[in-house]
Structure 1
Amino acid sequence: MSVRKMRLVVDLIRGKRVGEALGILEYSKQEAAIWLKKNLLSAVANWEFKTDGLESADEYDLFISEAFADSGAQIKRFRPAPHGRAHRIRKHSCHITLKVSNKTPLPSERVTATESETVQA
């Protein structure tokens, strides 16, 4: 999919909470929404895995902290044209980057904050 088409949908979900972004992507008509929804669910699953699977994403108020689409490689093909000529067809692709962060601190972050306060006191 071309970058221009993908950026239209990426701009809709940037900075939103994960649940709200999934709702936007679910009811969007663009094909890019299908690809972004898969990537967003993958990012949430990666966040859960990174926290050792102890925490569920629903409890920590996840939001999309960073989202952008960059151009990728082009596949170049030729199509026959009149008078024995050929026209070039460029099939565009893009790279999607989604970063998910939590607003509610994790239990390990809370413990670290309280330990640092006791050391300083």
Structure 2
Amino acid sequence: MSKDKNPRRVADNEAMAKTRMLRTSPQKLNLVAAMIRGKKVEKALTDLTFSKKRIAADVKKCLQSAIANAENNHNLDVDELVVAEAWVGKNLIMKRGRPRARGRFGKIVKPFSELTITVRQVEEQA
């Protein structure tokens, strides 16, 4: 009398990794995510390694997690993986402030984001 197995959220030739609470705005994170969409994973890792954006290190960590999930959990070939999707979402916003002149209050918002990366195994055409 056990529960049914949870269905997979992605296809049989895909694997996914998600990172939450990344301390950057979704707009800035999307610039880095757009840089790797549709590329082979080795090229995407190289681009993230040499990127000057601060958040690129966290995106690289998420991509490496997706690659490890594909290899260990779903038995996919790492050499044939492509970044199928990389999408960005909003998370919480810390609200801080700073006193300004004439009794006013300067609002400082510190946004957080989340990143989801899906890798797909694609066979190369000869």
* Superposition TM-score, scaled by structure 1 size: 0.74
Aligned counterpart in structure 1 of residue 72 of structure 2, from 29, 49, 53? 49
Q: Following TM superposition, by how much is the alpha carbon of 1:49 offset from its aligned partner in structure 2, in angstroms?
A: 2.4
- In 2, the alpha carbon distance for the partners of 1:3 and 1:19 equals 24
Richer in strand (by share): 2
Structure 1 unaligned residues grouped into runs of 5+: 105-121
The number of aligned residues is: 100
Separation in 2, partners of 1:55, 1:12:
23
Runs of 4+ in 1 over 4 A off after TM superposition: none
Deviation at 1:83, TM superposition (A): 3.6
Structure 2: tracts of 5 or more residues without a match: 1-23
The structure having more radius of gyration, on CA atoms, is 1
Asked if 1:91 is matched to 2:114, the reply is no
Give the RMSD, CA atoms, in angstroms: 1.6
- Residue 92 of structure 2 aligns to a residue whose secondary structure is coil
- Structure having the larger proportion of residues in helix: 1
What residue is the counterpart of 2:101 in the other structure? 82
Distance 1:2 1:68 in 2: 13
The Cα shift of 1:70 comes to 1.6
Matched AA of 1:3 = P
Does the CA-based 8 Å contact 2:71-2:78 persist in structure 1? yes
